[in-house]
């Protein structure tokens, strides 16, 4: 996007899922003895981490982006279980659903291991 506009998606409230554009705002503090102007975005600082990096963490608020599916059901479990309260878990997924990718080779390897253990 442009350096003067941030595009964001609202995650909760009456406008959930709505895309918004946030422009930079000119701020002129009046509580100083001198004058200055500052142009900045009115957004809160946040950070992101991978699902694997979140393992073992306890977080107050968690947002999970499932626009691309998880590799395994374990990743989905880990990402959703890092937060203490369900009210603080925000998930973005197309049509409210996600796919869990399971490769057929994984099933075959498990089947081969079970068969060889029973022999």
pLDDT tens profile 82-98? 888 888 888 888 887 77
Residue with tokens 């947002």: 63
Cα–Cα distance for residue pair 103/56, rounded to 1 Å: 26
Specify whether the CB–CB gap between 76 and 70 falls below 8 A. yes
* pLDDT over 70 percentage in the chain: 76
Angle at 51 between CA 48 and CA 52, to 5 degrees: 120
Q: Residue 79's pLDDT is what?
A: 82
pLDDT tens by residue, 32-42:
787 777 777 77
The pLDDT score that the predictor gives to residue 1 is 47
Residue 55: the pLDDT is 75
Total domain count, the chain? 1
Asked if the structure places residue 45 within a domain, the reply is yes
- Residue 40: how many CB atoms within 10 A of its CB? 9
* The dihedral sign for the CA sequence 31, 33, 35, 39: negative
Q: Is residue 114 part of a domain?
A: no
Q: Which residues of the chain have pLDDT under 70?
A: 1-2, 12, 45-47, 71-73, 100-103, 106-119
Domain range enclosing 59: 6-109
| Nearest-angstrom CA–CA distance, 17 and 90 | 11
Count of C-beta atoms within a 10 Å radius of residue 80: 14
Flag whether 36 is in a domain: yes
Whether 22 is in a domain gets the answer yes
State residue 111 phi and psi, 5-degree precision: -60, -45
- Tell me, yes or no, whether 115 lies in a domain: no
Q: Is residue 44 part of a domain?
A: yes
- Identify the pLDDT of residue 37: 78
State the alpha helices, DSSP H only, in the chain: 51-54, 73-80, 104-118
β-strands 19-23, 5-9: how paired? antiparallel
């Amino acid at each position: 996007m442009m350096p003067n506009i941030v595009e964001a998606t609202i995650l909760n409230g009456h406008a959930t899922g709505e895309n918004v554009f946030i422009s930079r705002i000119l701020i002129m503090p009046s509580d100083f003895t001198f004058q200055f102007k500052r142009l900045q975005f009115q957004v809160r600082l946040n950070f992101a981490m991978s699902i694997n990096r979140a393992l073992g963490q306890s977080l107050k608020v968690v947002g999970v982006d499932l626009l691309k599916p998880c590799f395994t059901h374990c990743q989905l479990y880990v990402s959703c279980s890092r937060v203490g309260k369900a009210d603080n878990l925000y998930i973005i997924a197309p049509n409210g659903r996600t796919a869990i990718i399971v490769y057929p080779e994984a099933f075959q390897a498990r089947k081969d291991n079970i068969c060889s253990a029973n022999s």
